[in-house]
A and B are shown apart, each in its own frame.
Chain A
Amino acid sequence: MRILGTAALALNRIWATKIRSLLTMLGVVIGVAAIVALTSIVDGASQGINKSLATLGTNQLNITAMAADSLTEQDANALADLDNVSVMFVQAQNQGTIATRESRVNARLVGVSSQYFEAVKPEIALGSYLSSSSFAATSKDVVFGADAANDLGITKEMLGTSVKLNGQDFRLVGVLDDQAGFGTSGRVYVTIDSARKLFSQYPYVSSIVIQANTPEQVDTLQIQADVLLRERYGLGSETTARYTITNQASLIAAVGTITATLGLLLTGIAAISLLVGGIGIMNIMLVSVRERTREIGVRRAIGAKQSNILTQFLIEAIVLSLAGGVVGLILGEIAAFFLAVLGDWVFSIRLDTVLLVLGFSLLVGVVFGVWPARQAAKLEPIDALRFE
């Protein structure tokens, strides 16, 4: 009998026992749907993280002070004089309170130097960044992060009006649109000079950011910066307690590694449920072989070879598993779509995921179908015919 005829037989049988077939498929359906949805979550999450990191620039080094008096503005100026440094800015930050006439909340107050806004380019929702006139020594302007603005109920009309930071009057000039950012949206930004009056002791800063001209120069610059700071503080090569240098590119790579591991873990868990689904198929196929022993005997008597019986049962298992895979894929993609809408990331159907899960469910069908099919093919015709 030709393979198509055998396939038709298998489909016929699956159709004749619809409910059972559906229940048999369920394990694979759930397994595949889980793989698809979980892969999509990991994808979406890493998309989001990478997007946030990329806005910070891959040619950037963050040098963070480990204590309030670890790094100074002089360190920053020395770093800015290194070769290949295109941008340098410092930040000094501390917890504080922000208040309008109506309300008052806690926020992180960040003093930044003049190059901060053009280097980071955060999206602006209302008003403007701190301008060069803001950085003139006497001005007291402030820009709110999105969450800080929400907490205080800032509206467009309040731009240009006075808000209080740690009890001092500041003029609100802008609100950032940084809700998708890295927990930065609870911040409020003032000039570094204002920050000194609010909380910080001259000349200390909490972090220094330098940018290399090109991403390729970052690794070298990281070493140069480290050497420079060690020299300034007379540190041996073994101690780093004063500051840490993080490289944006290596951060992206690290996030990549984490999401890949996470993806592997989740896929592993989903693969286990697929395995359980496969065992379910095998179980039902074994029951089916037993129930259909007479039928197998009759088929053998009217001319079916062992190979015909083997193919018939194997195809049945494969069709069950593959159909489960297709249904699971559809459900998984639907789930992924809604998750993407909820999580605000880009939904895409990945060809490699589709091929992977379909290949995997095909494999499950073959692996878990072979044994029952062999049991069926090995039946002696006379024993099968005699079977009650």
Chain B
Amino acid sequence: MADEVVRLDKVRRDYLVGDQITTALGGVDLVIERGEFVAIVGPSGSGKSTMMNLIGCLDRPSSGSVLIAGDSTNDLSDNKLTELRSRAIGFVFQQFQLLPNTTAIENVMAPLLYQGIGTKAAKKSATQMLTQLGLGDRLNFDRNRLSGGQQQRVAIARALVTSPDIVLADEPTGALDSKTGAAVIELLKELHREGRTIVLITHDLEIAASAPRRVFLRDGLVERDERGVS
């Protein structure tokens, strides 16, 4: 059996908005195997953000089951869920979301420090990761002194530094010009070639096309699951 890092079984997620129940996901099955590069594509309101929250261990399903790296998220306490998230998921957010008043290296060290790793070891790993991504000379730059592309690379370094099972990228090119955006996609492809599992959430079909597998969502259901170069 192949190594499944994500398994969604009949996953529903309902929200209470005012006094109305809104269904964001209406019974979704999805399996992602280790080493895959999957784009989850859909217009706004299709349920892709909810999907990201569930895969990212930020949320739990209303029914059905979510297994991340073999662990079910359904019944985990907030603390256990955080531990799972810290171990299994590396987030890359749309607006970079670097921490305020911190330098590049402090951003990359943060997830390690939250895991309880000592400052010295964290600094070493963070330096390595940033150097690998071509930011070796920007370690102590703070957010305001980094370009958009550089900030996104810091964010990617932060996602990778804990060696997570899944890199979860939410519209990672959304805030970048097309050239820098293309460079970030190239970087994700390269990470995939190195064997990492990449889940890319996007509404942009062109961006999605760079992934070998594309899962199309519409109205909270999987509409299409495509493989191969589109």
Contacts and interface: CB of A to CB of B under 8 A. Distances in A.
B79 A303 contact: no
Interface string A284-305: 0000000010110011111111
Interface string B60-87: 0000000000000000001100110110
B53 A382 contact: yes
Nearest to A8: B119
A16 B56 contact: no
Interface stretch (B99-107, B171-179, B215-223): B99-107
A299 B82 CA distance: 11
Nearest to B81: A381
A308 B86 CA distance: 13
B78 A303 contact: no
A385 B58 contact: yes
Nearest to B107: A302
B82 A304 contact: yes
Contacts of B86: 302-303
Nearest to B159: A302
A298 B96 CA distance: 10
Interface stretch (B36-44, B109-117, B184-192, B193-201): B109-117
A1 B79 contact: no
Given A16-B101, A382-B58, A302 B111 contact: yes
A306 interface: yes
B130 to A, nearest CB: 15
Contacts of B58: 300-301, 381-382, 385
Contacts of B85: 301, 303
Interface residues of B, number: 27
A161 B85 CA distance: 100
Given A295-B99, A299-B99, A301-B56, A306 B78 contact: yes
Contacts, number: 63
Given A5-B119, A382-B59, A305 B114 contact: yes
Contacts of A12: 101-102
B97 interface: yes
Interface in A292-337: 292, 294-295, 298-308
A295 B110 CA distance: 12
Contact of A16 (B93, B100, B114): B100
B116 A298 contact: no
A2 interface: yes
A13 interface: yes
A303 B116 CA distance: 10
Interface in B138-186: 158, 162
A12 B53 CA distance: 30
B79 A305 contact: yes
Contacts of B110: 299, 302-303
A5 B115 CA distance: 12
Contacts of A295: 99-100
Nearest to B98: A298
Contacts of B158: 302
A124 to B, nearest CB: 69
Nearest to A378: B78
Nearest to B54: A382
Interface in A1-36: 1-2, 5, 12-13, 16
Question: Which has the most chain B C-beta neighbours within 10 Å: A13, A295, A298, A381?
Answer: A298
Contacts of A300: 58, 82
Interface of A: 1-2, 5, 12-13, 16, 292, 294-295, 298-308, 381-382, 385
Given A295-B100, A303-B162, A382-B59, 17 more contacts: A2-B118, A12-B101, A16-B100, A16-B101, A300-B58, A300-B82, A301-B56, A301-B58, A302-B111, A302-B158, A303-B85, A303-B114, A303-B115, A304-B82, A304-B114, A381-B58, A385-B93
